[in-house]
Amino acid sequence: MIKRHPLMAALAVLAYIIMIVPIVFVVTTAFTAGSTLRFPPDGVSARWFGEALSYQPFTSALGSSLLLAVIATLASLALGVPVALGIRRGRLPGKNLLEGLFLSPLIVPELVVGLALFQQFMVGLRMDNLPTLIIGHTALMFPYAVRVTGASLALADPALEEAARGLGASPARTFWTITLPLLRPGIFSAGLLSFVTSFNNVPLSLLLQTREFRTLPVTMLDYVQQQYDPMVAAMSTLLLAGTVVIALLAERTVGFAKIFGGINR
């Protein structure tokens, strides 16, 4: 039986309260019948959800965010999976140094990355904002693909691949029949994590987007600066519900505990 220190338990409860209480305020405010952001709400109504879903800037920005997140996720997986395979299965010198290099975008502030991309691509090369956004989001999602896929490989038994090659399977067939099925949970988890992170990104998107292409989080931020009604709270609640549903489905089908449990190995 694991004994928990009272102070650690109290800190854990405090952390949960800090995370959950703002969510409760937002969700409760979304169901208000009033016309302003107030807590406790003035009655109960779902009218702001209809307002949010019919607000053209939100729906247009939602499509833009989905497009950007899907492209960035696919690109990061296409680059990250081979890198994870090379680090975990290859015989490369300085693997730890290479892995740290590929994970370095996680420690660079996103505003710095966005400013660098803006100066180099949009100002220097006159590139449109959508390709620049894709490059930036891919660079930010790339470490997730490397780390999570690498964790999946760390949990896999390399003897299975060695046995397949020992029985005469070619490297390509070994990859498609043994390695890829072992990687599938990690790829799925990395893709989901990258998609959610890209979709909700604000700092990088705020610096690189224009009026022609705007993501939903930045559009919501602009709306809050101009309006004081509960429409943003309703849209935030819808996004929160969608994220929870996706996470529950992923947990049912893949199991995050199994994948993320190997990250620190």
The pLDDT of residue 258 is above 80? no
Q: What's the pLDDT at 36?
A: 75
Q: What's the pLDDT at 257?
A: 57
The pLDDT of residue 53 is above 70? yes
Q: Please give the Cα distance from 214 to 62 (Å, whole number).
A: 9
Give 48's strand partners.
none
CA dist 213 → 65, 131, 149, 231 (Å): 9, 11, 31, 21
* pTM for this entry: 0.80
Q: Please give the Cα distance from 228 to 35 (Å, whole number).
A: 8
- Where residue 71 falls among pLDDT bands split at 50, 70, 90? very high
Q: Please give the Cα distance from 64 to 213 (Å, whole number).
A: 7
Class of domain 60-260: mainly alpha
**First-to-last C-alpha distance (Å) of the chain:** 24
Least confident interval from 52-61, 76-85, 170-179, 191-200? 170-179
The pLDDT of residue 135 is above 70? yes
Q: What's the pLDDT at 103?
A: 78
CA dist 123 → 115, 117, 118, 128, 144 (Å): 10, 9, 6, 10, 28
The larger pLDDT score, comparing residue 79 to residue 208, is at 79
Residue pair 217/202 in contact by the 8 Å Cβ criterion: yes
- For the chain, give the mean pLDDT: 80
Q: Please give the Cα distance from 192 to 170 (Å, whole number).
A: 31
Those residues with Cβ within 8 angstroms of residue 95's Cβ, 6 or more apart along the chain or in another chain: 87
